[in-house]
Amino acid sequence: MKMATHSEEQSRPRKADDNTKPPTKTARILTVFLAGSSLNRFEAERIGDHCLHSTVSALANIHGLVFERKQERVPNHWGRPCNVTRYQLPESQRELGHKVLLKLARTQTGSEE
């Protein structure tokens, strides 16, 4: 019987040393709002948020951000009209939004003071 020349550990690809993780869903959505865009639930679905109202609620209730909300009627996935809320972060909330984004990034990397 032939013995392996490399251990299993040596043959595995090494992970990057920089411990970078992709941004969280909340951070991704906040980045969109900070760029000046607005979102409704169907638009947020395309970027990975299946419950936009919950994400906005967390940003408002946990982090203190205030959002503008506007009701609109749009076609759903089957083409039928439905009522949704369009969320937007007003200009007056952008400075706080950037601070929240930094806090979310520090929390994710484990370097929160």
* Residues of the domain holding 49: 23-109
| Rounded distance between C-alpha atoms, residue 74 and residue 71, angstroms | 10
Domain total of the chain? 1
Q: How confident is the model at residue 74 (pLDDT cuts 50, 70, 90)?
A: very high
Q: Classify residue 13: in a domain, yes or no.
A: no
**CATH number of the domain encompassing residue 102:** 1.10.10
Block residue for tokens 């946990």: 62
86 falls within a domain: yes
In a domain, 64, yes or no: yes
| Average pLDDT for the chain | 86
CA-wise closest residue to 72 among 101, 43, 94, 51: 43
Residue 58 lies inside a defined structural domain of this protein: yes
30: Cβ–Cβ under 8 A, 6 or more apart, which residues?
Answer: 59, 89, 97, 100, 101, 104
For residues 87 and 2, which has the higher predicted lDDT (pLDDT)?
87
> pLDDT grade, residue 113 (50/70/90)?
very low
pLDDT of 20 > 80? The answer is no
Asked if residue 78 belongs to a domain, the reply is yes
Residue range 21-42: mean pLDDT, rounded: 94
Residue 59 resides in a domain = yes
Phi/psi of residue 29, each to 5°? -65, -45
Tell me if 43 is assigned to some domain.
yes
Q: Taking the complete model, does pTM exceed 0.85, yes or no?
A: no
pLDDT of 95 reads 98
**pLDDT number for residue 7:** 52
Q: Is residue 14 part of a domain?
A: no
